[in-house]
Chains A and B, each alone.
Chain A
Amino acid sequence: MVAYIIRRIGYGFLTVLGVLFFLFILFFAVTDPDDIARKAVGERAPPEVYEQWKRNKGYDKPLFVNTEHGWLSGGRYTDTLLVDHYTRMLTFQFGQSDADDALISKRIREGAGPSLMLTVPLFLSGMAVAVMVSLFVSFFRETYIDRMALVLCMLAMSVTILLYIIGGQYLIGKVLHWFPISGFDPDPTIVYKFLLLPILVGLVNGLGADVRFYRTVFVEETTKDYVRTARAKGAGEIRVMGNHVLRNALIPILTQIVVAIPFLFTGSLLLESFFGIPGLGSLTIDAIFGNDFATLRTMVYIGALLFVTGQILTDISYTLADPRIRLE
């Protein structure tokens, strides 16, 4: 098991290195640092100014091999963008934003709070509601409740999240006046007001797919022998569904859930942007529109890192949920 985990981590590390190289090609070889500089200091800035900017950022170095400063002249062949890129990312020294020179790590720390405030409750309530509804539906399998739920799920899945967002803001914020249409305030006495609507929207958006998936898993389980045995022993329906079926259905559910956990940190691009929540998703969107390549690079890297972590965690969680699975 330990050997397996170490091997998995090793593979994960290689994957991250690969992603970093891909990022490098995209952000430095495909995008000309000159263009980045011009976007940052303004199209009309004189050449000296953006040359200076590039020097400050270290974007003036050669891409792969530094032939200008050989060892003989006291420099290093490795004084290049590629080496800088890897060192910065692997040591988590993300440096400054291309758009306004703010420290990226500080931005990420500031944005993680609001992101987690949105994603953690959304994740937990989404999971709870989806499991409850699908247990309920599979309990009533093959009845009108089941069929109705399936139709509703299909409908819910076919609608884009943008419609839920705009519809939610219109109906709940504007017509019914339940919550603010958008906005954020970290003041703990009112912060919940801003989160309820995006959580509700996120919940409805994810519910269709989740319920359908869990229902399939649960229904499959309810036809198994042990369920009949449990009933025969006199276990009540609540106990059968909540205890026996739920636990046995955990494996496929875990696959879905554990992978998602690390992404709670990166926030939700669209929800944050439309509801004005200053989290990491919003930060990423800003970086895209503001030509902030440094921040964007960092966010993509962090995303890759979290994805790899999620994969490893999922594997480990299997053995915890089902002792029959051995990782080798």
Chain B
Amino acid sequence: MTKSISRSSLWVVIGVALAFLTACDNNPYTPDDSSKKILYTWFREAPKTLDPAVAYTTSSHQFTGVIYPSMLEYHYLKRPYQLTPSLAKSVPAPEVLPNGYVRYRFDMREGAMFEKDLCFEELAGVEHREIVASDVVFQLKRVADPAINSPVVSVFSKIAGFDEFIKALTEARAADPDFSSRRIDQQYKEAGDIEGLKTPTPHTLEVTLKEPYPQILYWFTMQFTSPVPWEAVVYYDGQDGRDHLRDHPVGGGPYRMASYNKQFRVVLERNPDWWGASPAHRGAPGTVYPSEGEPGDKERGRLDPKYVGQPVPFIDRVEFRREKEAIPSFGKFLQGYFDLSGIIQESFDQVIKNDQLSEEMVEQGVRLEKSVSPDVFYIGFNMDDPMVGHAAGERGRKLRQAMSLVVDVEEFKRVFTNGRGVPAQSPVPPGVFGYEEDYQNPFRVVDKEKAKKKLEEAGYPGGVDPETGQPLRLTFDTADTTSRGLLQSQFYVRAWRTIGIDVEIKATNYNQFQEKVRNGAYQIFNWGWVADYPDAENFLFLLESGQARSVSDGPNTANFQYARYDALFKQMKTRANDETRLEIIREMKDILAEERPWIELFSRENYALYHGWMQNVKPFGMSVPFYKYWDIDPDLRTENRAAWNRPVLWPVYVLVALFFAILVPGIRTFYRERQ
């Protein structure tokens, strides 16, 4: 009896152990793929939409940015950011027309094709077709279409006739219920042309603006202005089992969507029909690895002669795996199964020591790339408020100055961001023309004594309002109700309390916060701005009076209105980046420093980790994907993965031994007792 139990259980245990040993392997990918040039990375949440007229998030741009071709693109290595041609043969120069309008003329490459897709076959009986200028016009009409709900309509309203088109389309739809059921390209055609968008030849696009707006060119690097085939919009309508365009991009960029499963995997593959891969365009900017960069690129191996001038892309496939949780995804990075990663809060101190990579990481060949994103986070004052705003005059200004003098960003970084972030001295962040590293805002240093003095001058000695005899009571409105957000709000409030000011936090949900902003019922708030494009105009306009929330519902939530600032802004916004422009920006910064509508906090700093087998990687700061310039050494990767992931099997033997150690004496005791 004893024998049969232990013998059969022995076989079971041995069988399980053997099955286990053969199954033991933590490589999450198909084994054959390890020798291929595949980039492995991850996504947390599938983007809501990949429709290029709507998609406006980093999570969607990482796909759409390489699938849809654009007229222009950014130089990969040069900083400050520089525009280069792409689908357009050159970066167009503005041409001022007699009526004051400004025209840009894009000469497009000939023979550039859309990717092959079923929609062309179904609607036109061809595999794919050439990209022409009217495809860009079609896309811009989609941006205008109210039914699409594009987030950037106001930008393109600067195009002559854009608003008129919106009106005509809306009216046509309202007048005739059948109109909406017509094919979308027909609807756009019947709603009429946009006056400022002309295609004199199939490969020429003329864009006419009602006012000078040189920054429009940056918008031509984005997918809002990418050519989109009407066939795709018509065919992928989500009906009868067909995909929706928002889940089925049809572009013509360096990569195409090979598989889009929002639940667990997104795969991009090299697009064989990309215009940059055809011999006719070989060597054009954006089709080969750049030969110039900024100082330091050479030292960091980003101008390796092996790559300079070589046709891109180098990587054949980009695999995004879904990882909902940060801890497992970082674990897989450390095992070599993801090629790049951010740093999770939980492991920050393990990975970064004294702002440097830890020795352990360096040994693994991991590289750290820091980049500052062109954005700015700030505390704002509602300048319409009688207590802290314009109406309070000199008293209000001194109060704001005092409050600005006690908010310690370095301390904030230490507590909340693991020390990451660049303290902001003005709205203009690093990487943008007008940012000066050595500029010091006199009210963005921490000086409690000076703050107290300012407060006294403002008529609130020790923070006490002499009229009431009570400490000054202000409110801080925030839409961040998370515990972390509350802690951050408390951080500011505590700072102000050190000079005797009592600030109450009013945390509400985003809707209620918006409501308060709409009604002007707020005093102090915090907010951030992420640039659409790297130009000072895109930051300084946040304080221009025309953009004031209370005037035009614009993004100037501080409602700052200052005539001299507005005049300077007007001069600055249409100027090219020269010494005069810098002078103007300096004066604007001085006004803001003195007036204090904002307490500037910081620009975010990203720490990204890359494995040693990744080549040519340079963080960009904005959400523009550049996989086409990256390369991978698959042999090194395979070697490292094998070395880092040898299964540790001794615990199996220990467990088996333990099993018998418990079992055998038990059986013996049992039988002894029974007898």
Measuring CB to CB, which residues of chain A are less than 8 angstroms from any residue of chain B?
Answer: 35, 38, 41-46, 48-49, 52, 99-102, 110-111, 139-140, 143-145, 148, 166, 169-170, 173-185, 187, 189-190, 192-194, 196, 236-238, 273-278, 282-283, 285-286, 290
Return A45 CB to nearest CB of chain B, in Å: 6
A45 to B648, CA, bound (A): 55
CB pair B26–A173 under 8 Å, yes or no, is yes
Return A144 CB to nearest CB of chain B, in Å: 7
Q: Indicate which residue in B1, B510, B646, B670 contacts A238 across the interface (CB closer than 8 Å).
A: B1
Q: Indicate which residue in A170, A180, A184, A194 contacts B337 across the interface (CB closer than 8 Å).
A: A180
CB pair A282–B514 under 8 Å, yes or no, is no
> Using a Cβ–Cβ cut-off of 8 Å, how many residues does chain B contribute to the interface with A?
55
Map CB proximity to A onto B493-518 as digits: 1 under 8 Å, 0 otherwise. Answer: 00000000000000000110010000
- B155: CB under 8 A from chain A? no
Return B30 CB to nearest CB of chain A, in Å: 6
A189 to B22, CA, bound (A): 13
Closest 7 CB pairs of A and B: A278-B263, A182-B328, A180-B28, A278-B264, A183-B28, A176-B648, A181-B331
CB pair B264–A184 under 8 Å, yes or no, is yes
What are 20 pairs between A and B in contact, CB < 8 Å?
A41-B149, A43-B510, A100-B49, A139-B670, A143-B669, A169-B327, A169-B331, A177-B24, A178-B648, A179-B25, A180-B27, A181-B331, A181-B332, A185-B29, A238-B5, A274-B328, A276-B322, A276-B325, A278-B263, A282-B324
A166 to B334, CA, bound (A): 16
Q: Which residue of B lies closest to A34 (CB)?
A: B511
CB pair A187–B247 under 8 Å, yes or no, is no
Complex contacts, A49 vs chain B, CB 8 Å: 146-147, 149
A99 to B146, CA, bound (A): 20
Q: Indicate which residue in B149, B264, B324 contacts A273 across the interface (CB closer than 8 Å).
A: B324
Complex contacts, A190 vs chain B, CB 8 Å: 28-31
CB pair A43–B511 under 8 Å, yes or no, is yes
CB pair A100–B28 under 8 Å, yes or no, is no
Complex contacts, B247 vs chain A, CB 8 Å: 100, 102
Given the known inter-chain contacts A45-B149, A145-B662, A276-B321, please indicate yes or no for A193 contacting B25, CB distance below 8 A.
yes
Other A-B contacts than A143-B669, A173-B26, 19 sampled, CB-CB below 8 A, are: A46-B149, A100-B48, A144-B666, A166-B327, A170-B331, A173-B331, A177-B645, A178-B26, A178-B647, A181-B335, A182-B323, A182-B331, A182-B332, A183-B332, A190-B29, A193-B27, A194-B28, A237-B1, A276-B321
Complex contacts, A286 vs chain B, CB 8 Å: 45
Complex contacts, A170 vs chain B, CB 8 Å: 331
Complex contacts, B669 vs chain A, CB 8 Å: 143
Complex contacts, B327 vs chain A, CB 8 Å: 166, 169
* Chain B 236-257 residues near chain A, CB threshold 8 A: 238, 244, 246-247
- B80: CB under 8 A from chain A? no
Q: Which residue of B lies closest to A192 (CB)?
A: B23
- B261: CB under 8 A from chain A? yes
Complex contacts, A45 vs chain B, CB 8 Å: 149
* Chain B 282-323 residues near chain A, CB threshold 8 A: 321-323
CB pair A177–B30 under 8 Å, yes or no, is no
Complex contacts, A273 vs chain B, CB 8 Å: 324-325
CB pair B263–A111 under 8 Å, yes or no, is yes
A193 to B24, CA, bound (A): 8
A291 to B244, CA, bound (A): 20
- B386: CB under 8 A from chain A? no
CB pair B5–A178 under 8 Å, yes or no, is no
Q: Indicate which residue in A144, A177, A278, A283 contacts B322 across the interface (CB closer than 8 Å).
A: A278
Given the known inter-chain contacts A143-B666, A176-B651, A276-B322, please indicate yes or no for A196 contacting B331, CB distance below 8 A.
no
Chain A CB within 10 Å — which of B28, B238, B321, B327 has the most? B28
Q: Which residue of A lies closest to B645 (CB)?
A: A177
Chain A CB within 10 Å — which of B23, B26, B327 has the most? B26
Map CB proximity to A onto B26-38 as digits: 1 under 8 Å, 0 otherwise. Answer: 1111110000000
CB pair A174–B30 under 8 Å, yes or no, is no
CB pair B238–A101 under 8 Å, yes or no, is yes
Given the known inter-chain contacts A101-B244, A238-B1, please indicate yes or no for A43 contacting B324, CB distance below 8 A.
no
Map CB proximity to A onto B87-123 as digits: 1 under 8 Å, 0 otherwise. Answer: 0000000000000000000000000000000000000
CB pair B1–A177 under 8 Å, yes or no, is no
Complex contacts, B647 vs chain A, CB 8 Å: 176-178
- B15: CB under 8 A from chain A? no
Q: Which residue of A lies closest to B325 (CB)?
A: A274
Return A123 CB to nearest CB of chain B, in Å: 19
CB pair B244–A174 under 8 Å, yes or no, is no
Given the known inter-chain contacts A140-B670, A145-B662, please indicate yes or no for A179 contacting B26, CB distance below 8 A.
yes
- B151: CB under 8 A from chain A? yes
Complex contacts, A166 vs chain B, CB 8 Å: 327
CB pair B48–A99 under 8 Å, yes or no, is yes
Complex contacts, B265 vs chain A, CB 8 Å: 185
Complex contacts, A236 vs chain B, CB 8 Å: 1
A184 to B332, CA, bound (A): 13
Return B247 CB to nearest CB of chain A, in Å: 7
Map CB proximity to A onto B594-624 as digits: 1 under 8 Å, 0 otherwise. Answer: 0000000000000000000000000000000
Q: Which residue of A lies closest to B334 (CB)?
A: A174
Complex contacts, A101 vs chain B, CB 8 Å: 238, 244
Complex contacts, B49 vs chain A, CB 8 Å: 100
A110 to B261, CA, bound (A): 10
* Chain B 220-275 residues near chain A, CB threshold 8 A: 238, 244, 246-247, 261-265
Q: Indicate which residue in A189, A196, A237, A276 contacts B264 across the interface (CB closer than 8 Å).
A: A276
CB pair B25–A274 under 8 Å, yes or no, is no
Complex contacts, A99 vs chain B, CB 8 Å: 48
CB pair A180–B666 under 8 Å, yes or no, is no
Given the known inter-chain contacts A100-B246, A177-B647, A182-B332, please indicate yes or no for A140 contacting B666, CB distance below 8 A.
yes
Return A2 CB to nearest CB of chain B, in Å: 41
Q: Indicate which residue in B23, B29, B328, B511 contacts A181 across the interface (CB closer than 8 Å).
A: B328
Complex contacts, A196 vs chain B, CB 8 Å: 23
Q: Which residue of B lies closest to A49 (CB)?
A: B149
Q: Indicate which residue in A42, A194, A237, A278 contacts B261 across the interface (CB closer than 8 Å).
A: A278
Complex contacts, A46 vs chain B, CB 8 Å: 146, 149
A166 to B346, CA, bound (A): 13
A190 to B34, CA, bound (A): 14
A295 to B645, CA, bound (A): 39
Complex contacts, A238 vs chain B, CB 8 Å: 1, 4-5
Return A230 CB to nearest CB of chain B, in Å: 15
Return B255 CB to nearest CB of chain A, in Å: 21
* Chain B 18-65 residues near chain A, CB threshold 8 A: 20, 23-31, 45, 48-49
Return A305 CB to nearest CB of chain B, in Å: 23
Q: Indicate which residue in B28, B514, B646 contacts A43 across the interface (CB closer than 8 Å).
A: B514
* Chain B 146-185 residues near chain A, CB threshold 8 A: 146-147, 149, 151
CB pair A183–B321 under 8 Å, yes or no, is yes
A91 to B31, CA, bound (A): 45
Q: Which residue of A lies closest to B328 (CB)?
A: A182
Return A115 CB to nearest CB of chain B, in Å: 11
Map CB proximity to A onto B622-665 as digits: 1 under 8 Å, 0 otherwise. Answer: 00000000000000000000000111110100000000001000
Complex contacts, B329 vs chain A, CB 8 Å: 182
CB pair B146–A48 under 8 Å, yes or no, is yes
A175 to B265, CA, bound (A): 26
Return B181 CB to nearest CB of chain A, in Å: 14
A269 to B195, CA, bound (A): 54
Q: Indicate which residue in B20, B29, B264, B648 contacts A175 across the interface (CB closer than 8 Å).
A: B648
Return B492 CB to nearest CB of chain A, in Å: 24
CB pair A276–B323 under 8 Å, yes or no, is yes
A295 to B363, CA, bound (A): 47
Complex contacts, B645 vs chain A, CB 8 Å: 177
Complex contacts, A175 vs chain B, CB 8 Å: 648
CB pair B149–A174 under 8 Å, yes or no, is no
A236 to B674, CA, bound (A): 13
A180 to B28, CA, bound (A): 6
A102 to B324, CA, bound (A): 20
A148 to B665, CA, bound (A): 14
Return A237 CB to nearest CB of chain B, in Å: 7
